[in-house]
Amino acid sequence: CASRSGGPYRDDVFMMQIHETIESIRTARAGCGRVAFVPTMGNLHDGHLALVREATRHADTVVASIFVNRLQFGGGEDFERYPRTFESDCRKLTDAGVAHLFAPDESVMYPHPQTYHVAPAPAHADELEGAARAGHFRGVATVVLKLFSIVQPDAAMFGRKDYQQLLMISAMARQFALPVRIVPCETVRADDGLALSSRNGYLGDSHRADAPRLFRVLTSVAQAVRAGNDRYPALERDAMAELAAAGWEPDYISVRDADELTRPTDHSRRLIVLGAARLGGTRLLDNVGI
């Protein structure tokens, strides 16, 4: 297995092995012992590399994947123009210590139309991101289950930035008794607070300058709730109005139970405020724990 401690090296340079077929990654994985897995759609930034760093703490061998999963994009979304930057991604993953990269193309992942799907619980699939992007979480759950089945990781890293995805995948792993530990990883932010995301690359200069506004708005809702304000609908309305006044098109700003994603109840142990909004043509997503 090509772990940092076990090679392979060429001229003292560590080489990541790239696997394009299921057979090839399965064969490599079989010799790897404990594996920590970082699934991605590529166009990697420091947030992904933080997932890789975290992965190295959970196993000797880190496996990553790059696959832009058509199933999780709706009609009219950015599947075709989603940035594909394979060579620079490979350099970053190699430098970060990834031993094996699974990088299938569509004919490998979906040799036949994928007619079997995972249907996540409506509480996760149809709320917030699910309401804004019908079928999105069904596509995510289906590809993640398939990737888990191919890579058979002991642990898998998911960022808190996509909080609803993290909750949904944790619930799927629990409900199907998948032998994989889902490890949540902190959101990585630019100096001005903007959560790193592949889609930030779509922002022009003036929109990039205004993009941290979403995080600021979410932070002020979180502060108000921490200070005892429980008039959530009013807080959410005001936050959406603030974004709209600055030229954004907010999809939602919503205070939720951080474990169940339901509206807060008397039994909620932790709350979170989540938001999504469009700035120019770019849809940004973020959340702040309360």
Q: Smallest distance, Å, CB 234 to ligand PAF?
A: 32
- Candidates 3, 43, 61, 69: give the one binding ligand PAF (CB under 6 A): 69
- Candidates 28, 144, 145, 221: give the one binding ligand PAF (CB under 6 A): 144
Residues in 238-267 that interact with ligand PAF by CB under 6 A:
none
Residues in 21-50 that interact with ligand PAF by CB under 6 A:
39-41
Q: Smallest distance, Å, CB 259 to ligand PAF?
A: 20
What binding mask, one character per residue, do residues 83-122 give for ligand PAF by CB under 6 A, x or -?
----------------------------------------
| DSSP class per residue in the chain | ---TTT--EETTEE--EEE-SHHHHHHHHHTSSSEEEEEE-S---HHHHHHHHHHHTT-SEEEEEE---GGGPPTTSSTTTS---HHHHHHHHHHHT--EEE---HHHH-SS---------HHHHSSTHHHHSTTHHHHHHHHHHHHHHHH--SEEEEEGGGHHHHHHHHHHHHHTT-S-EEEEEPPPB-TTSPBP-GGGGG--HHHHHHTTHHHHHHHHHHHHHHTT---HHHHHHHHHHHHHHTT-EEEEEEEEETTT-SSP-TT-S-EEEEEEEEETTEEEEEEEE-
Stretch of residues binding ligand PAF (CB under 6 A), selected from 107-115, 139-147, 188-196, 264-272: 139-147
Residue 142 in the binding site for ligand PAF (CB under 6 A): no
Q: Smallest distance, Å, CB 226 to ligand PAF?
A: 28
List of residues contacting ligand PAF (CB under 6 A): 39-41, 69, 72, 140, 143-144, 162, 165
